[in-house]
Structure 1
Amino acid sequence: MPTSASPSLRERKKVETWTAIHEAAASLAQERGLDQATVEAIAESAGVSPRTFFNYFPAKEDAVLGLHEPVLEPGEAAKLTGADDFLGQVTLVLVAVARSALRGTDRARRRQLLERYPHLFARQMEYMAKAEALVCDAVADVLAADPSWSSGAEGFSPGETARMLVMLAAVPAKFKAKSKDFDPAAGLTPENLAPAVALFHHLQRKLS
């Protein structure tokens, strides 16, 4: 029994430490300014050593925003069937992977910090690029396994086709995120994305 419980306890401790460091970093950036939110100050506020800080975050900017390495869960990858509305599938999976990089953070506070320190946006976009790369690889695998795609579309490889498809799939998400009724605290969900995906399909039919 103790052996099976041990990993769970370690995982909880990791989550608690990650949260303590992120909360300390975000709070210091808000209260004292980003320049004053040094790794040493963050570590002291979180009750950890600077060495422990770097076990969880590669830089203070990542800690301030609460960024994780994005993850494509097997359950999400399984949603990429290549069947009807493949673009919609890719959009939802892309959003899920992007959200995995931002999990466990206060979205409203992160948005305030990004508005106050616009250069942090570049750091966040690096993680979004990692999310896109994960989805690109998964989509390429689906296309490579489908005879109608594996030979190449218009002379492009499955990998190149996947990259184009992921770029297109990001359009409905970006459209919704910039709409007036978008709630950053709620984030992007399959439900609030559906109208944007439907509009994208409508435009595809009209333009093709």
Structure 2
Amino acid sequence: MVGSNSSVPSASASASKSFEIPESELYSFDADKIKEKLRIGQMWALYGDEDVEWSDPDMPTCCGKFDVRNSSQAYTSTDSFSHLLKAEPTGSKGEYTIVPRRGEIWALYRNWTRDIKCSDLENWEYDIVQVLEDNYFLFKVRVLDKVDGFNSVFKPQVKERTNVTLEIPRVNQLRFSHQIPRFQLTNERNGSLRGCWGLDPAALPPHYYS
């Protein structure tokens, strides 16, 4: 909330230690989070860490139930802001649910296990997926591949003329690492990228551009 936050495990933070994060080629994601667009009561994801239900208590999480803290923190810029969140109140005072929603794009831990440690994340690999369906039992997602020649443009992965999909049981929702801001491409590059997505490089796992 502009007053509260969920945290994006900062792929960008670990990446910036060794090399510069590339700029988005086709869309300015920074324009979506200028100060003038912030409103009281909004909930934003910030780059950082959050304790959760992992074997390693230092592992970050970006989906589940979150409580609004009775504390505040001042920011002089929006550099730490990732994206506006869709959070639903649970009915308990100050408690909200944040889960992957249809149409959103998320990073998914590859070879996932609850025993992943925070120290593993620097070299961990991820799949990029778009949520097709979310219901009481599972999330159905479509796997995306990076488009050759671009650092942050992705398209549906296709095998045997069919989009590759996965089903993630709700009980394994911790497999979702973090949401990635996206922009649907239409007429860019004379329409050659129609159906693709431009993703925020700052939220992409480092192995996609290392």
| TM > 0.5 fold call | no
Higher relative contact order (CA 8 A, sep 6+): 2
Higher helix share: 1
TM-score tier after normalising by the smaller chain length: under 0.3
Higher strand share: 2
Structure label with greater radius of gyration = 1
User: TM-score, normalising length from structure 1?
Assistant: 0.20
User: TM-score, normalising length from structure 2?
Assistant: 0.20
